[in-house]
Amino acid sequence: MTINSVLVANRGEIARRVFHSCRERGISTVAVYSTPDAGAPFVLDADTAVHLPGTAASETYLRGDLVIAAALKAGADAIHPGYGFLSENAGFARAVQAAGLTWIGPPPEAIDFMGSKIESKLLVAVGGVPVLTELDPASVTEEQLPVLIKASAGGGGRGMRIVRALADLPAELEAARTEAASAFGDGTVFCEPYLETGHHVEVQVMADTHGTVWAVGERECSIQRRHQKVVEEAPSPLVERTLGMREKLFEAAVAAAKAVNYVGAGTVEFLADETGRFYFLEMNTRLQVEHPVTECTTGLDLVALQLEVAAGGKLPQVQPAAPTFLAGGSSIEVRLYAEDPASGWAPQTGTVQRFQVDGLAESFALPVRERGLRLDSSVEAGSSVSIHYDPMLAKLIAWAPTRTEAARILAKALATARIHGVRTNRDLLVNILRHPAFQAGDTDTAFLGTHGLETLAAPVAGPEEEKLAALAAALAGAALRRDQARNHGVLGGMPSGWRNLPSVRHTTTLSGPAGEHPIRYALGRRGLEAEGFGGTGVVHLSADRVSLDVDGLVRTWQVAHYATNPGNVLEVDTSAGSVSFTEVERFPDPSLAVAEGSLTAPMPGAVVSVHVQAGDAVTAGQALLVLEAMKMLHTIGAPADGTVVELPVAVGQNVDVGMVLAVVNAAESAAE
């Protein structure tokens, strides 16, 4: 069988990743895209693209009939599902095959078996693989708490809830079912015992139609937030230090794959304790988000192997050894999300004004030397991040001869990257990579809780660095205004800083993560005179670069300016971290003010439920309504005890950032 043209039934970075391997092998590529994705990088990367009219995944990427019709229209002879959406939908796999197309994935029967986390545990348990006991949600007892609710049909943290009190179980079950149905089209959920600490270890498998199954390598993905992986690495630190664990893991993973006659790339996931005992969690019948760390430690192109196996190719009986320059090395991947840690991790939307990572060796490709950086990104400068899909922007991957070096390379690249336009979890990732516990390999599932999510998410540029960055931003802003004035012929012949009389100090107030920074300075014949910045002199000053001598040390900041309303944004980047500032308006528009007690939308989204009415008395933290954005549910709670006096939204309504959702008069105010 020959594959000449592949349609990728997905979007974003995974579509671009599959296109990369196809191009290298002379295979034509086809993209499908929704209306919001028109013009996205993955669409432009494809040889041919087919529009699926609509915005929501349910009317575009989850419409298997439309995807197959697009493949036939574009002349594709195979479909690669990527991950998420229809990738683990056995009905879609069967429909692809029934249409005469090659399905680049496992047999539909294997997807059926492993697609249900409930049934798959029963299946592998028969083969002797240890499993956690499944609990019926209707009969969970106090003694069995805490429990973890999980979606039977999906992953990625959707539909997952930890329940520690029996009274919370019904509401959490309903929320989990709603989220699972929205993300996967199947609201089936189940419960299992929740282990407060453990290690999430998974084994990459690759199998052909001739009976050969490889255990390609293991990964550790223990550091997670809201059950979504944040940092992944190969090999696993736990497995590396536990004698005999790798062999047992590989044996269990191969047994699980053979139990369902598996074909193609798949991942068998386990939960392990510190002693090396492990329990089967699930098998993902697709390529994983974190597959690059396996590629960067084995030298194997997993997508290329998927293509070869789907075409009927035969794997060697023995897996090829990694290239010499990768042998014994380590690879770490981080997921860069568009989310704002300072606003409750609300997903971010908008335009990515700049996306630049220095020192990249590869994009989507295999390593060609012993250390380097790889970027698998869904966005470029100018890309739009919409409300409709997952907020992951990119994966940045480092590899090196040692784990310590890989972490250092990755942290440095993240800290110095120029990412403008949307807030991200970049500081969290850098702080994790530089944390002593991470560097020691102590990375269990409680990592963020143990070391404090708020502490780990603190800006890499601390308060003093932010203060200096604010000064640099203020000086660059003045330089920009000077350049604009000269371009318009205003004082065009006068030297910079010229005054015919002594002038008062300039004052600019910038708002950053640490609060407001009033910058007062004068720049004239005597150099820079800035309040609170003694011993600081100007070495270079332009609108986009400022170099200052700070107590004998020359520091440089790159500054970018973006016109917004209200308040211009200045993005300041330096080797010590990046800071985003907003100019504080001296005379704010009173029409933009909102009433006291107003709860505004932290993100664009759709109202999926409203739990109160105007006039209701509420208590602090009580759920008022729920928004759906980027395939996740976000509860808006009352800020204090009081009374709901306004509720201007309804179920099904779309809201923008800053829109008033409700107004709550605090109890004290109501009494007055």
Do 46 and 10 reside in the same domain of the chain?
Answer: yes
Do 285 and 371 reside in the same domain of the chain?
Answer: yes
- Worst-scoring range by mean pLDDT, 122-126, 308-312, 470-474, 580-584? 122-126
Residues 205-218: tens digit of each pLDDT: 999 999 999 999 99
Mean pLDDT of the 546-557 span = 96
Residue 582 pLDDT > 90: yes
Do 246 and 282 reside in the same domain of the chain?
Answer: yes
Do 151 and 231 reside in the same domain of the chain?
Answer: no
How many residues does this entry show for the chain?
Answer: 672
Do 137 and 211 reside in the same domain of the chain?
Answer: no
pLDDT of residue 487: 78
What separation in angstroms does the CA of 414 have from each of 372, 397, 407, 456? 13, 10, 11, 15
Mean pLDDT of the 267-290 span = 95
pLDDT of residue 672: 44
Residues 460-495: tens digit of each pLDDT: 999 999 999 999 999 999 999 988 888 776 555 555
Mean pLDDT of the 139-166 span = 84
Q: Which domain holds residue 472?
A: 464-583
Contact 239, 252 (CB under 8 A): no
pLDDT of residue 671: 44
Instruction: Please identify, among 430, 456, 482, the residue that sits at the C-terminal boundary of a domain.
Output: 456
* pLDDT, greater one: 644 or 160: 644
The region, left, alpha or beta by phi > 0 then psi within -120 to 50, assigned to residue 557 is beta
Residue 438 belongs to a domain with what CATH number? 3.30.470.20
* pLDDT, greater one: 5 or 657: 5
Do 413 and 493 reside in the same domain of the chain?
Answer: no
Residues 86-106: tens digit of each pLDDT: 999 999 999 999 999 999 999
Total count of domains within the chain:
5
Look up residue 476 and give its two tokens. Answer: 């660059």
Residue 153 belongs to a domain with what CATH number? 3.30.1490.20
**Tokens 């250390």 — which residue?**
371
Mean pLDDT of all residues belonging to the chain? 91
pLDDT of residue 493: 55
Residues 4-53: tens digit of each pLDDT: 999 999 999 999 999 999 999 999 999 999 999 999 999 999 999 999 99
Do 364 and 377 reside in the same domain of the chain?
Answer: yes
Do 262 and 349 reside in the same domain of the chain?
Answer: yes
Look up residue 238 and give its two tokens. Answer: 């736990």
Residues 230-240: tens digit of each pLDDT: 999 999 999 99
- Worst-scoring range by mean pLDDT, 183-187, 285-289, 291-295, 398-402? 183-187
In a domain, 120, yes or no: no
Residue 185 pLDDT > 80: no
Rank 542-546, 563-567, 633-637 by mean pLDDT and report only the highest: 542-546
Instruction: Please identify, among 525, 555, 583, the residue that sits at the C-terminal boundary of a domain.
Output: 583
Residue 154 pLDDT > 90: no
Residue 566 belongs to a domain with what CATH number? 3.30.700
* Amino acid of residue 4: N
Residue 434 pLDDT > 80: yes
Q: How confident is the model at residue 628 (pLDDT cuts 50, 70, 90)?
A: confident
pLDDT of residue 98: 98
Residue 668 pLDDT > 80: no
Residue 64 belongs to a domain with what CATH number? 3.40.50.20
Q: What gap in Å lies between CA 346 and CA 425, rounded to an integer?
A: 11
Do 217 and 363 reside in the same domain of the chain?
Answer: yes
pTM of the predicted model as reported, rounded to 2 decimal places: 0.87
Do 437 and 544 reside in the same domain of the chain?
Answer: no
* pLDDT, greater one: 502 or 427: 427
Q: How confident is the model at residue 612 (pLDDT cuts 50, 70, 90)?
A: very high
The region, left, alpha or beta by phi > 0 then psi within -120 to 50, assigned to residue 577 is left
291: buried, middle or exposed (CB in 10 Å: 19+, 13-18, 0-12)? buried
Q: What gap in Å lies between CA 156 and CA 283, rounded to an integer?
A: 13
Look up residue 161 and give its two tokens. Answer: 């809830």
% of the chain at pLDDT higher than 70: 94
Q: What gap in Å lies between CA 167 and CA 268, rounded to an integer?
A: 34
In a domain, 202, yes or no: yes
Q: What gap in Å lies between CA 468 and CA 430, rounded to an integer?
A: 21
pLDDT of residue 595: 73
Do 542 and 641 reside in the same domain of the chain?
Answer: no
Burial code (b: 16+ CB inside 10 Å, e: under 16) for 22-48 equals beeeebbbbbbbbebbeebbbbebbee
What separation in angstroms does the CA of 251 have from each of 124, 212, 242, 501? 12, 14, 16, 83
Contact 469, 572 (CB under 8 A): yes
pLDDT of residue 486: 80
Q: How confident is the model at residue 670 (pLDDT cuts 50, 70, 90)?
A: very low
Q: What gap in Å lies between CA 565 and CA 627, rounded to an integer?
A: 25
Mean pLDDT of the 622-642 span = 85
Q: Per DSSP, which regions of 63-178 are E strands?
A: 78-80, 102-103, 147-151, 161-163
* pLDDT, greater one: 67 or 146: 67
- Under DSSP, the state recorded for 177 is H
In a domain, 294, yes or no: yes
Supply the Cα-derived Rg of the chain in whole angstroms: 27
In a domain, 589, yes or no: no
Q: How confident is the model at residue 669 (pLDDT cuts 50, 70, 90)?
A: very low
Mean pLDDT of the 152-157 span = 70
In a domain, 113, yes or no: no
> How many Cβ atoms from other residues are within 10 Å of residue 93's Cβ?
26
Angle at 599 between CA 606 and CA 567, to 5 degrees: 95
Q: How confident is the model at residue 193 (pLDDT cuts 50, 70, 90)?
A: confident
- Worst-scoring range by mean pLDDT, 130-144, 287-301, 548-562? 130-144
Mean pLDDT of the 309-314 span = 97
Name the 3-class secondary structure at 325. coil
Q: What gap in Å lies between CA 547 and CA 545, rounded to an integer?
A: 7
In a domain, 110, yes or no: no
pLDDT of residue 602: 79
pLDDT of residue 499: 55
Helix orientation angle between 64-74 and 90-98, rounded to the nearest 10 degrees: 30
Residue 610 belongs to a domain with what CATH number? 2.40.50.100
In a domain, 115, yes or no: no
pLDDT of residue 497: 53
**Three-state secondary structure string covering 247-269:** HHHHHHHHHHHHHCCCCEEEEEE
Q: Per DSSP, which regions of 285-417 are E strands?
A: 330-337, 339-340, 346-347, 350-351, 354-356, 372-377, 384-385, 392-400
Residue 626 pLDDT > 80: yes
Contact 530, 554 (CB under 8 A): no
In a domain, 644, yes or no: yes
Instruction: Please identify, among 175, 193, 211, the residue that sits at the C-terminal boundary of a domain.
Output: 193
Do 142 and 233 reside in the same domain of the chain?
Answer: no
- Under DSSP, the state recorded for 514 is T
